[in-house]
A and B are shown apart, each in its own frame.
Chain A
Amino acid sequence: MTISRRTFLKGVAGGGGLLLVSGIPLADARMSTELPPHAVGILYDATLCIGCKSCMANCKTQNSVPGGALYKKGMTAPPYESKGPAGDEGIWDAPQELSGKTLNIIKVYKNGTGEKKDVAVNGYSYFKQQCLHCISPACVSVCPAGAFRKDPENGSVYYLAERCIGCRYCQLACPFGVPRYEWDSAWPEVRKCQLCRHRYAEGKYAACAEFCPTGATIFGKVVDLRNEARYRLTLKPGTEYDFPIKTVDSAEKSRRPVARYADGTYGLTEAGGTQNIMLSGVSFELLGFRKKIPHFDLPSLTWAYVRKVLWVFAGVFTGGTTIYAITHRNDKEGSHD
């Protein structure tokens, strides 16, 4: 080796310094844990749901148009059964689970005789599964190519297919198990609810809320939805209340008796808080929403690791150079290797 130790040490020190300097922008990269200024979302009240699945059907049609979450360039037919075989025009698809073709699903909980609505024992309840639009989404933080984004204004979590490499880390990371993959495609996309963000420009909002006949799903500003949920929880079961329909600030109301709510509002603290929130007469644990969900922002777990990365480089180069200088002090220049 012909390089002098001095030159080598200089080079290493310079490189290490450069690394540290280049690390300064890291400080701004941490994900926000605050609700975006104009955050919108959905309040789903299971006690109002009648299981008509209008939200599911309209979610599919409204998202199969350009800009929608189910739309794909060059798509010849929407990804759902819009037309049965000849002579059997009445057929429609009945998904059992969220999938690459289903962004939102109504399921039913049943117990014993299943007679009473919104009761855990010998009762039944509907529930809705879809993306909850976390305030600090794990899918956004884990995506290596930035294919998942959170809108800084309205907070909807959306997907940019052209960036996606298909590693499916989002599927692993999502604590709610929401993102689904197009397993049957050779050039697959990740699919999940994007809160109908393509419809805002036309003054419209989430299709599932617009087409919900009972007000079980309503759309609105997250702060308003939280207030509405909090107010409903204070109402005495059995008393009558004017439930807003379609949007939280709607003039259209539906007067109905208030059911007995089991838990508080789901989505205030789960995974650090979500923009879609839920109320139910049967505890969320029984409906399949796991109790084990962490009640803090998940990206902070990996950030604790990421912020150490540059220090490792700095440490190895400083430590390594020092050790090198010590261990090679007895070697004459050019004698090793």
Chain B
Amino acid sequence: MSNIGLDIAASGVNAAQTAMDTIAQNLSNTNTPGYVSETANLTALSSGEQSGVGGGVAVASVTQNNDSLLAANAAQTSAALAQSTALQQTLQQAQLAFGDPSSSSGLGSDLSSFWQSWNQLSTNPTSQADLQAVVDSAQTVTTDLSQASGQLTAASANASSQLTNTVGQANTLLSQVASMNNQIVKQGATGTSVSALSDQQNQLLTQLASEIGATWTASPNGSVNVAVGGVTLVQGNWSDTLAVNNAGSATSPNLQLVAQGSKVALTASSGTAAGLLAAVNVYLPSYQSQLDGVANDLANVVNTQLNKGFTTSGTPGVDLFTNSGAGSLTAVNITVNPTVLANPSLIATASTSSLPAASNDGSNAQALANLYNASNGPDVAWRTAVVNVGSQVSQINDQVQSQTATSNAAQQNLQSVTGVNQNTALVELMNFQATYQAAAKVITTVDTALQSLLAAV
């Protein structure tokens, strides 16, 4: 009969010690970002003794309390939130182009002033002052249009440069993940714990998810493969770099993220990059084209009516709004006809060409004043654009709010499993302390028993 009591007690002390060390590690890292709490897994040993007594306890492993499903969910929700937030910020900047609907300044009220100047002219069609007032208010409107357009262009440029920064950061992270893969595999091969490195790597991966919507799969040797939209960007210690490429034109952009190594364009469907891409490729061009629509409607209804009329000298009316550049009329290039600007008497206020009946006829001017609510006129188009932009921004605001709640909930769920609950940890610590003390007491008792045996001989 061998005295295995000492061995058993010794194993108890060692196991309790390891367990307490693990709890100490957890408590020290309570606030470390990305830290996943660890558990010492104890198993009872068998001794092979005839008597059937066990062989003590051993720490089978120290494992991390990870839940890959919750972790993936937390990463996904935070990527979705990052996407909506990026889009929200850009759209809120773009919304400034559409002004304050309550204000007495801005395109809406400047259009009203324009129509009012026509009404005034109709009461005194030969008045130089009233003719000049029409020209001046026309210029105010064209200035408003080009300024609004400029603000949208600025928002787009802003978003593009943010995208470049995001991609730059993502590239740094990708290469860091690859080098960590290398470290983890090497360290894992030596048998020591890779938990700390793994936690650090998880932080990088979560950031990558937020930036470009990356997803990852772990391989058995501890290294991680990162992909976006099915395109692999990190494999083992190889990483790719991304660049932003415009597959469209300056006015009609189609920005894409392109993987430089594999020469493939990515489809980023979440993360900051996805939000910015949607803003630059879809939303902002649509707002720009709605503004261009307002400009075109203005030019069309005004020029059409003017061309139906005649000046007070009986000559046919000419366009008031023209295109200062090439191509189609836009909110940027709409301008007051320079001929009319130089000679406001060319404005067609009369409805008849016969003289002298045309010389003091303001009826065409009144017809122009009446275009304020034309269904194909600029006021209706402007109103529609404002409501459209407002609805989209309002929607994205709500989306950000609800996604913030979802993301917070996912984080909390993840924390419940991976986080350190101090109360729980301290109770466990007390338990293991008691176990340690009990096992130590067993050693003392067995020792005393041996002593009495030796004394007896």
Partners in one complex: no
